Amino acid sequence: MAAVLKVAVVALAVIAAEKKFTAADGTTVYNIRQFLEQNPVLMTMRTTYSSFNPCQWYQRESESDSGVTVSTWVYIHNTNRTTRMGDAKNWSFKGTDTMWLGDEEDGIDEKKLIYQTTDGDCGVIQYDEYFDGSVKNSYELLVTKGKIRNVPEQCKNFYLGKINGKPDSSNKPEDLQNCKYQRNR
């Protein structure tokens, strides 16, 4: 019986470690691949990125061992339609918590999962754009469909702490009321 209990404890520890682990410097490292697997559709609730569309979400299209293909979708209320914003992007995984795309010549975009709730229904992404020796940094607060009207407080507080007063854009209640947030093919 003790052996069975020991195996169960070890299995639970391994499962918990997959979601996040603590780095040598004491910071928590989250698993972006697992976050995207668990949440194939994520709404951008708030962002410091320069362009923002109300009712915009990311949708995972496919995944491999080395990366993930993600599309950006938006619902346009006055036309009552959903449309994809540009082509799907092929991101490559870099370590446990980061994905990137681009090249040295044209610039590199990097997204790092810096926080997620225990349930994995809300996360904060640090988005860095590297171009011509400079870095543009922004943050995104992403939630699942079930949390668009009730963003977890700890996730919102982490995001607000990271942006530290930097201007951001967010979905307003009327944006969410009209939003046709869904998985598309």
Per-residue pLDDT 10s for the chain (185 aa) are: 444 334 333 333 333 444 555 655 557 899 999 999 999 999 999 999 998 999 999 999 999 999 999 999 999 988 889 999 999 999 999 999 999 999 878 899 999 999 999 999 999 999 999 998 899 999 999 999 999 999 999 999 999 999 999 999 999 988 888 888 777 66
Q: How far apart are CA 138 and CA 121, in angstroms?
A: 21
Single out the residue of 43, 78, 71 nearest to residue 170, CA to CA.
Answer: 43
Tokens 């209990």 correspond to 5
Helices (H), the chain: 2-19, 32-38, 153-163, 173-178
Homologous superfamily (CATH) for 22-178: Calycin beta-barrel core domain (2.40.128.20)
